[in-house]
Amino acid sequence: MNVVTIMNDTFRRDHVGAYGLQAPWANPATGHGRVSTPCLDDLAAQAVTFDRFYAGSYPTVPARYDLWTGRFGFPTRPWQPLEPADATLAEILTAAGHTSMLIHDTPGLTAAGYNFQRGFTGWERVRGQHGDHWRTDPGPLWRPCAPHKFKNHRGVRAYLRNVLGRRRESEWMAARTMRQAMDWLDRNAAHKDFYLYIDMWDPHEPFDAPPADQARYQDPDFAGDWLIYPAYGRGTYMTDAERAHVRASYAALCTYSDRWIGHFLEKLDALGLADDTLVVWLTDHGHGFGDQDLQGKPGGQLGRLYDQNLRCPAIVRHPGGAGAGTRSGAIGQHVDVFATVLDAFGIEPPDGVDGRSLLPLIRGQAAAHREVAVSGRFPAGLRTAGRAAGAPPDGFAGRDDLPEPLTVTDQRWQLILSPRGHASELYDLANDPGQTHNVLDAHPAHARRLHACMVEFLADRQADDARIAPFRDEPSTAPQAAPPAVIGPDAPLHAFTDAHGATIAVASEADAVEFAHACPGASAVRRTTLRGLAAEGRRAHVGTDGQYYWPDDLLPPS
């Protein structure tokens, strides 16, 4: 049996048609939230579709660690390169005599010494994706939006230069990566029992799809800023039209990615490989588009991991047709893909791994899998000496002086467990899938049970006491600690108000002047403070550490 794993970064579950869901907003051109993914829908009709597949280590590179090693990284490891002692899936397969290939455009895997190519028989990186310092060609860059609306307006410039002169659909990133994968299949179809892992950054930012896909979802009369990489945190710095355009651009990228997944699956079939190949399609996490008043993948005290970021689509097609067209309600996580691939090759996993094979579920030999899913991001403030170093985490936002909340989920309940002194949340997913009502006070026993699961899990994974201690107190809805001092109430800020009435405040006067100058109709830059902005409420946005806050996110309780 061959195994092909296809990873699409940042693919929301409610953007895959096979799940029968709609995004919780209407796209301007369609008037509804349904997203076209016919190729993934066809794959699901031939496969087992997992309804309760949850991210473990969050986000991109930590999730790959879980996939590569079958171990949960977030209890003890930050976003970092592989370490020499890590036993990877590719190394195990190579030692067993299997040909393995990594094809990716995801920036972090083989950059700056991350070494996620280690153990693969061969690997190829498709150049030009976000942040890849690849091309230096001179020419005027597309300037899609005012710079303060980008998460990293300087970093996006590298991507914009990489796509200069692009015209045809085949020149966008998902097509380029899948064409490399199809070419590899053409040349390597004769290998017996191979492993091919394909990792696409799309539909992750930049939200930049071919024009035909974009036109399917966007308002044809849209005339605002085109935010291909919107700043994280509180998204009300965007106008309503801009926010709708961001959502439409993301939907367009999902549809575009789906089409090239379909081209690859057609190639697999055309070469006579489909009947002898296990296909695993999945993503690493979702993305916020205003859900819970949050944009993107914010961090720090805004880094609460709700279902829109954690509950992932996952589809597994067995070459023998086992489970075809069925849905599994069993809880699964990314570490389980590691064990599933080894099981497909008849290899026992190493001792001590967390992953458990999904094949018994797929073959109908088991109905349950995990009692709970555990999810989290290792707090930046606990990064310790001796850890392997690499490029700074792409997409990280927020301060490192507050451990981010952890999430634990069972078949019905989800606890978002905040550190000591900060409010936690409990949701009844059966009756409140949108997570709008915190019912912790009404159901404290469920909160205590899930809390105990998380603390025991951290201890079992040899997490340091400094990692566990902030989460030992029982969860409560009553905050007893002030927000961390990201910005002092009376520290100087420099602010301007744009033509739509949103106030943008940053610490650097030079940045404020640059931002205001790029906004037609903006006011002059003025000096203010966090306390001085409080009266503006949610019209005011304080930009720091890669994301926007409202003033009341940062001010101590009055």
- Give 235-266 pLDDT, tens digit per residue: 999 999 999 999 999 999 999 999 999 999 99
Band the pLDDT of 516: cuts 50, 70, 90: very high
Q: Where are the domains of the chain?
A: 2-362, 403-481, 492-554
Output the furthest CA–CA distance in the chain (Å, rounded). Answer: 70
Q: How far apart are CA 529 and CA 490, in angstroms?
A: 5
> Which residues fall within 8 angstroms of residue 46, CB to CB, at 6 or more apart?
317, 321, 324, 325
Q: Nearest-CA neighbor of 149 among 253, 202, 244, 225?
A: 225
pLDDT at 545: 81
- Measured in degrees and rounded to the nearest 5, phi and psi for residue 519 equal -110, 105
Q: What is the mean pLDDT of residues 288-304?
A: 93
The predicted-structure confidence for 134-182, as pLDDT tens digits, reads as follows 999 998 888 889 999 998 877 788 999 999 989 999 999 999 999 999 9
Lowest-confidence range among 364-368, 380-384, 519-523, 534-538?
A: 380-384
pLDDT at 379: 79
pLDDT at 393: 61
pLDDT at 40: 98
Q: How far apart are CA 265 and CA 130, in angstroms?
A: 26
Q: What is the mean pLDDT of residues 88-99?
A: 97
Q: Helix and strand tally (H, E) in the chain? A: 15, 20
Q: How far apart are CA 365 and CA 23, in angstroms?
A: 34
Q: Given a cut of 80, is residue 326 above it in pLDDT?
A: yes
pLDDT at 387: 58
Give the Cβ contact number of residue 142 at 10 Å.
Answer: 13
pLDDT at 265: 98
Q: What is the 3-state secondary structure (H, E, C) of 339-382?
A: HHHHHHCCCCCCCCCCCCCCHHHHCCCCCCCCCCEEEECCCHHH
Band the pLDDT of 352: cuts 50, 70, 90: very high
Q: Is the dihedral of CA 19, 229, 241, 502 positive or negative?
A: positive
What is the three-class DSSP state of 34?
coil
Cis ω before 203 (30° cut-off from 0): yes
The CATH fold of domain 2-362: Alkaline Phosphatase, subunit A (3.40.720)
Residue 372's region, left for phi above 0, alpha for psi from -120 to 50, else beta, is: beta
Q: How far apart are CA 39 and CA 236, in angstroms?
A: 34
pLDDT at 313: 98
Q: What is the mean pLDDT of residues 344-371?
A: 96
Q: How far apart are CA 464 and CA 447, in angstroms?
A: 23
Q: What is the mean pLDDT of residues 118-135?
A: 94
Q: What is the mean pLDDT of residues 106-114?
A: 87
Q: What is the mean pLDDT of residues 40-53?
A: 98
pLDDT at 546: 80
CATH number of the 403-481 domain? 3.30.1120.10
Cα separations in angstroms, 154 against 146, 151, 204, 397, 511 = 12, 9, 18, 16, 12
> Which residues fall within 8 angstroms of residue 415, CB to CB, at 6 or more apart?
407, 408, 409, 424, 425, 426, 440, 446, 447, 450, 451, 454, 475
The predicted-structure confidence for 370-387, as pLDDT tens digits, reads as follows 999 999 999 766 655 455
The encoded tokens of residue 400 equal 């490192």
Q: Given a cut of 60, is residue 392 above it in pLDDT?
A: no
pLDDT at 381: 67
Q: How far apart are CA 293 and CA 189, in angstroms?
A: 48
pLDDT at 401: 61
Q: How far apart are CA 145 and CA 133, in angstroms?
A: 21
Q: What is the mean pLDDT of residues 192-207?
A: 97
Band the pLDDT of 418: cuts 50, 70, 90: very high
Q: Given a cut of 80, is residue 557 above it in pLDDT?
A: no
* Contact by Cβ (8 Å): 355, 280: no
* Contact by Cβ (8 Å): 261, 275: no
pLDDT at 27: 97
pLDDT at 294: 96
Supply the pTM of this predicted model. 0.96
> Which residues fall within 8 angstroms of residue 456, CB to CB, at 6 or more apart?
none
* Percentage of the residues of the chain whose pLDDT score is greater than 90: 84
Q: What is the mean pLDDT of residues 105-129?
A: 93
> Which residues fall within 8 angstroms of residue 384, CB to CB, at 6 or more apart?
none
Q: Given a cut of 90, is residue 120 above it in pLDDT?
A: yes
